[in-house]
Amino acid sequence: MRRPWWLLAFCWPGWAEARPVGDELEVWRRAPGLVSEGLREQRELKLVILSDLTQVEQDLFDAQVGSTQVYRGINLADLVERLPRPEGVDTVNLHFANGMMIPVALDGEQLGQVFIATAWKVGGGLDDHFPDVPKKKRALPDPAPITFGRNKVVVPDGQHPRVPKAAQPGFSPWFYVDTLTGLEWVASGRWERQFAAPGDVEVKRGQQVYLGRCQFCHGVAEVGATYGWDLVRPVPLYDYRRPDGLMTHVKVENAQALERGYRMPPQKDVERDEIRDLWAWMKAIALAGPNPYGD
């Protein structure tokens, strides 16, 4: 007899050991406190087995691939609706195998646009092995293409509401994500206050630059994404890159990016004032450290 989906979907680690790699998603609520104090707890941790949920097939334009494909999977909005939502949260942070992290507001338009694909149609059948995604517009093979397990996020365009409008035509965090591995419930105000640093208006503006351009890839003292360099540990990057060097790093693509497998996308629209504000914030947050996440 088939078990009810909720018994299969909400189980503790161990149930999923025989499942295909990538078939499960961890779901947890962020715990209060500081990572620097040894916080590693994942509150109310559960595993969601996607293959045990009702899935649908849809023709979807995949902005990461740049074409329309038939995907099988589940809409993020439908998945969230099935889950018991903790009190006080308004955002779900999507965590990926490569260390990227993208916040999605639970009451925003983007929630309904995110599709979690577990397979795609090839010929007359479905294949759960998604093709690699190389860097765009490259004449040579990419030594570090984006690879996937069974959970590929599909979005119709690359826009994210946190990214500045001027940056959106040339920069999208969605283009660099790989296998979706986890959903983290957070309160957005508490999440963003972790990155508030003491200082003047310049520092406060710099925090907003970080949240709009950097947080998807870079964490702060082990808080947040781990795809790119941590801005504080083990080396405070404000001391490693002065404002002019930081400007070049963010705005201009590294000449050896392809050969070294870099994926840092150049944000050519960035202004010098933004970089100065970002550098001031990087220094302030490195000296003060992130704030604890409130309960």
The count of other CB atoms within 10 Å of the CB of residue 38 is 8
What is the share, in percent, of the chain residues with pLDDT greater than 70?
Answer: 82
Tokens describing residue 60 = 């979807």
- Which of 15-19, 87-91, 94-98 comes out lowest in average pLDDT? 15-19
Question: How many residues are there in the chain?
Answer: 295
Q: Would you say residue 288 has pLDDT above 80?
A: yes
How deeply is 279 buried, as exposed, middle or buried, from its count of CB atoms within 10 A (0-12, 13-18, 19+)? buried
Q: Which residue has the higher pLDDT, 9 or 76?
A: 76
Q: Are 45 and 182 in contact (CB under 8 A)?
A: no
The confidence band for 10, taking pLDDT boundaries of 50, 70 and 90, is very low
Residue closest to 83 by CA, chosen among 155, 190, 192, 184: 184
The count of other CB atoms within 10 Å of the CB of residue 261 is 12
| Phi, psi (degrees; rounded to nearest 5) at 104 | -130, 120
N-terminal to C-terminal alpha carbon distance within the chain: 41
Q: In DSSP terms, which residues pair with 59 in a beta bridge? A: 70
Q: Which residue has the higher pLDDT, 55 or 242?
A: 55
How deeply is 233 buried, as exposed, middle or buried, from its count of CB atoms within 10 A (0-12, 13-18, 19+)? middle
What is the share, in percent, of the chain residues with pLDDT greater than 90?
Answer: 61
- What is residue 72's three-state secondary structure? strand
Q: Are 11 and 49 in contact (CB under 8 A)?
A: yes
Amino acid (one-letter) located at 230? D
Q: Look at residue 106 in the predicted model and tell me its pLDDT.
A: 97
Residue closest to 195 by CA, chosen among 148, 162, 153, 154: 162
- Which of 27-41, 102-116, 166-180, 181-195 comes out lowest in average pLDDT? 27-41
- Alpha-carbon distance of 290 to 64, in angstroms, equals 32
Tokens describing residue 95 = 């965590």
Stretch 232-257: mean pLDDT: 74
Q: Look at residue 38 in the predicted model and tell me its pLDDT.
A: 54
- Alpha-carbon distance of 96 to 75, in angstroms, equals 17
Q: Look at residue 189 in the predicted model and tell me its pLDDT.
A: 96
- Which of 86-95, 186-195, 264-273 comes out lowest in average pLDDT? 264-273
User: If you search the block for the tokens 């916080």, which residue do you land on?
Assistant: 39
User: If you search the block for the tokens 């540990």, which residue do you land on?
Assistant: 233
Q: Would you say residue 90 has pLDDT above 70?
A: yes
Q: Look at residue 12 in the predicted model and tell me its pLDDT.
A: 31
Q: In DSSP terms, which residues pair with 30 in a beta bridge? A: 42
Q: Which residues of 167-180 are buried (b: 16+ CB within 10 A; e: fewer)?
A: beeebbbbbbbbbb
Q: Would you say residue 14 has pLDDT above 70?
A: no
Going by DSSP bridges, is the β-strand pair 115-122/91-96 parallel, antiparallel, or unpaired? Answer: unpaired
- Alpha-carbon distance of 219 to 34, in angstroms, equals 14
Q: Are 213 and 167 in contact (CB under 8 A)?
A: yes
Q: Look at residue 291 in the predicted model and tell me its pLDDT.
A: 94
pTM of the model: 0.87
Q: Would you say residue 244 has pLDDT above 90?
A: no
- Alpha-carbon distance of 262 to 8, in angstroms, equals 39
Q: Would you say residue 236 has pLDDT above 80?
A: yes
Stretch 190-207: mean pLDDT: 96
The model's pLDDT over 115-160, given as tens digits with 9 standing for 90+, comes to: 999 999 998 899 999 999 987 655 566 767 889 988 999 999 999 9
